[in-house]
Amino acid sequence: MPKILVADPIGAEGVELLKTRADVDVKTGMKPPELLAIIAEYDGLVVRSETKVTKEVIETAKLLKVVGRAGIGVDNIDLDAATSAGIAVVNAPTGNTVAAAEHTMALMLALSRNVPAAHQSLKAGEWKRSAFMGVEVRNKTLGICGLGRVGSEVARRAQSFDMRLIGYDPFVSPDYAKSRGIELVSLEELLAQADFITLHTPLTDGTRHMISGEQVALLKPGARLINVARGELVDEQAILDGLESGQLGGVALDVFAQEPPQNTELIGHPKVVVTPHLGASTEEAQREVAIEAADQVLAVLNGEPARNTVNAPFVAPEVHAVLAPYIPVATIVGKLLTHLADGQFLGITISYEGEIAEHDTRSLQAAVLAGLMAPITTGQVNLINAPVLARERGLNITEQHNTSAPEYSSIVSATIETTEGKITLAGTSLRNEPHIVKIDDYWLDIVTTTPYMLFVDNQDQPGSIGAVGMIAGAHNINISFMEVGRSALRGRAMMVIGLDDPVPPEVIEEIQNLGHIFNVRLAHLGSL
């Protein structure tokens, strides 16, 4: 059973799910040296935002295959180090979506109606109605920076308040935004037009301090800012300066550059509403993110593709359902190419035909490369680090998409070019089972159910199959199956033989020396 460390508090439902398929240790509140001292024992690690998964932690964790983040943000995890090590980083992006969107709306309303200040005033025995004059959100313009899950849910709720919606997100299409009632604009246009601005972008080098002094100067005077995403998205001093100048009419913050926050001048400002990182703090969200993270971690440890792998291409659930059966197909295609190709690798062309060609195929590309690189690379090779390893080796990668596939609903094929020539393999999924259906010009149907496969390129003539079978029998080599494809009657043919046992070099040489044999290759598939 794999061993998993839960290093931060998560919902009990998530821990119980992990325990159904793994040995689980819950050790929260550890200092960095304590984590380093034990992490080498574990196959999986689950964290929230408190534990820092540094490069040192990753280099020490020799058994680690997956880091699960019970939440969406992964800025506490060194993604580059994890990717290089072939460690999957998975998160739970949907579990707290509603909680974060609702908290955004709560802060926007609290800000517009001065709820916290009025609350404190009344608690202090005062009755100052005129001091807390607010504004309505109806007919106001809401600028949403980041139109992912949370941003889209905020938009859906803001529509019920009769707000005009504008959005900034360089990674979504105008059609996507339009379908959600959002006008897509530049960041500069958003800042100039919005009465309320809400931030819902991940923290990256490109988004750090996306709201700084320069952006504050572009604001519509008196605009109000809400941040329930990441504290580092805003320059806190610039925000404070904007409040003092009146350029900002108010700010609501759930997150801070340092937590607990150290900027007491900002959080104490009369026009600032603050909460202590409560965006995901609902009973429902904590249960959901714990279960979602646990499910992703267990999927990786079971050798299954996870839906929300952060350091691999994101695949929407509906797309995942289409592509998932073709990941083992792509892996086998890549693995067989390594065994069948001679010479130095120069480049690979990966082609997708049929329904799968309509989707983002980066996960299939990674699977082909993982299969290709695994037999020739020391250390762990998987969907995470295979593209990195291929690039490091200077392999030229080309992709082709064709939505038409006359023979099958979908096909993954790959052509490897070497100093000795080219070879092509194609595969498909039938009944959720990988099938190799083409080798170069030979159509066949191979189910890779044996650990060894013998590929015999031969002249199609009477006695060819029998001669090879007799040699195998003479050496007590059991044949599981045999499949033959040919280009023309009595032309060139490909004989593929499934074997339970390895074939010694002398036996391969004996087959090679038959007069009608052009080439013989043995593939050891191992565990697929």
Inter-residue contact 36 to 15 (CB < 8 Å): no
How many degrees, rounded to 5, is the angle at CA 49 between CA 47 and CA 53?
Answer: 60
Residue bearing tokens 């199956």: 481
230 catalytic per annotation: yes
Q: How far is CA 503 from CA 190, 254, 523, in A?
A: 68, 65, 10
Longest alpha-carbon distance in the chain:
104
Q: Is the bond preceding residue 260 a cis peptide, omega within 30 degrees?
A: yes
The rounded radius of gyration (Å) of the Cα atoms in the chain is 29
The phi and psi torsions of 352 (rounded to 5 degrees) equal -125, 125
End-to-end CA distance of the chain: give it in Å, rounded. 19
Polymer length of the chain: 528
Q: Record the tokens describing residue 376, joined without a space.
A: 């020739």
72 vs 146: CA distance, rounded Å = 14
SS3 content of the chain, % helix, strand, coil (to 5): 35, 25, 40
Q: 224, 277, 359, 435: which one is catalytic?
A: 277
Q: 259, 265, 358, 509: which one is catalytic?
A: 259
Task: DSSP for 259-302, please give it.
Answer: SS---HHHHT-TTEEE-SS-TT-SHHHHHHHHHHHHHHHHHHHT
Taking residue 512's Cβ as centre, other Cβ atoms within 10 Å add up to: 12
373 vs 380: CA distance, rounded Å = 10
> Three-state SS for 401?
strand
Side chain identity at residue 390, one-letter code:
A
Task: Tell me how far the alpha carbon of residue 470 is from its chain's centroid.
Answer: 49
Rounded (10°) angle between helices 362-373 and 326-340: 40
Ramachandran region of residue 490, left (φ > 0), alpha (ψ -120 to 50) or beta?
A: left
Q: Record the tokens describing residue 437, joined without a space.
A: 């259906």
| Among 307, 437, 295, 434, residue whose Cα is nearest residue 371 | 434
Inter-residue contact 165 to 144 (CB < 8 Å): yes
The phi and psi torsions of 470 (rounded to 5 degrees) equal -65, -40
Q: 48, 230, 307, 359: which one is catalytic?
A: 230
Question: Long-range contact list for 264-270, CB < 8 A, 24+ apart?
Answer: 265/240, 266/236, 266/239, 266/240, 269/240, 269/243, 270/117
Q: Record the tokens describing residue 438, joined without a space.
A: 């083409």
259 catalytic per annotation: yes
Please list the active-site residues. Answer: 230, 259, 277
